[in-house]
Amino acid sequence: MQVLSVASECAPLVKTGGLADVTGALPGALKGGGVRMRTLLPGYAAVMPALQDPVAVEHFDDLFGGPATLFEAHAKGLDLLVIDAPHLYGRPGNPYSGPDGRDWPDNPERFAALSWVGAHVAAHGAGGWRPQVLHGHDWQAGFMTEYLRGFGAGDVRTVLTIHNIAFTGATDRTRIDALRLDPWRFHPEGYEFYGAVSALKAGLMGADALTTVSPSYAEELMTPEFGMGLDGVMRRRQGVLTGILNGIDDAMWNPATDPAIIRYDDPADKRHAKAALQTELGLPQAAGPLCVIVSRMTHQKGLDLVLETLPDLLAQGGQLAVLGSGDPGLEEAFRQAARDPNVAVRIGYDEAFSHRLIAGGDAILVPSRFEPCGLTQMYGLRYGTVPVVALTGGLADTVIPASPAALAQGVATGIQFAPVTAGALRSALARLGTLYRDPDTWSRLQRNAMAQPVGWSRSAQAYADLYATLTHRG
């Protein structure tokens, strides 16, 4: 089975969030299931130097405003197709914005080009290789179904995975010609979205199959609260929608082998990682749990609720260590919070430090208002760092709450709270403190967490089965 994955980011080459972790891990996870996946990526400044033995397989005289070359290459264990188009991707900053944090104004064209090349490869092949399935991720790959329709490649099956429906890739209708779209498709059955052009809407309407990154999020998307104006589309297409829970790279995230931490395979030895983290951050010894956060600082992530309930955590002897960046107001608020000797904050992102943070924490807080899947709670499970999560999306699907019944049966792995309010989080933190002060219960909770399967094997098989069904091989 030959599959082309079309993505705007892919770890470890380029990453801003969980999307990159998924697109980076899925190709390797699928190999055992008889699927060969290549990943199509933009040739960002960070990507081009990492390519091993690149071979030019296609040239485009005018790819949305300038010439471009498509390279076949390998890097970091991935089989890649990379679009070298300096006029689109040879820029400072991250994949979506410049050093000033502002989105590039030509993002619609930049990612339309990604979708267009993906559809071109699916229709015509590249370097003698042609996929049977075109698998796009989020709005950046949404137009691939429109372009594939134009190329007339009806034998290629398409899958679109929704990692976060909040980002629709919407732009003004005056860009229709610049985006090489069929103007007759600007209607509710095509890519029209409340009078605008939407790449995500195009993919949702056009793909043969839709997936999202957890079963609960698939259900949530069909409600006005979570559907972001697309809930009607999701209800209409629910017959082709599947929620496939993400996994994590459980070889990279393994406390017994992790080179970034003081290693352990038993929760009893986790105290060494905690002590090392407290020393690194200048935190004193404390009677309560050390809670950690690794997150983008946005309203979605519910970090304002953490700030509101922080006095309650500190009052019970707890501590907080945070790694993240995003909203300037939240960044400043956490800097101010770090004036307390039991609070440590680092603004930015550091992969190795995130491993030390999760290994050294007693609990990891994920109070998201919505969370399609979430990966940090799974990293927490893997490291015996008890997740405290909102009851939403993939958080609900991956954490077994420490109810009296679950504790009695020996299956609890964390704490869930609902609704997503400061009052509910405050109660969850009080519950955390109670469990932490009972050493036997706390140890069982940690062991249960570490025993929870969080790898890719089940999810990869679900994707392989989906591809086989689409191509009538299963």
Which tokens sit at 326?
């995003």
Q: 3-state class of 53 per DSSP?
A: strand
Q: How many residues would you count in the chain?
A: 474
Other CB atoms closer than 10 Å to residue 19's CB: what's the count?
24
Cβ neighbours of residue 184 closer than 8 Å, sequence gap 6 or more: none
Q: 3-state class of 185 per DSSP?
A: helix
Give the span between the Cα atoms of 303 and 63, in whole angstroms. Answer: 41
B/e letters for 35-59, b = 16+ CB within 10 Å, e = fewer, are bebbbbbbbbeebbebbeebeebbe
The reply to whether 15 sits in an annotated binding site is yes
Give the span between the Cα atoms of 136 and 117, in whole angstroms. Answer: 12
Name the residue among 409, 360, 352 with its Cα closest to residue 380.
360
Residue indicated by tokens 């095509």: 190
Give me the residues paired with residue 323 across strands.
294, 346
Whether the CB-CB separation of 20 and 11 falls below 8 Å is answered with yes
What residue type is 114 in one-letter code?
L
Q: Which residues are annotated as a binding site?
A: 15
Q: Which residues are annotated as a binding site for ADP-alpha-D-glucose?
A: 15
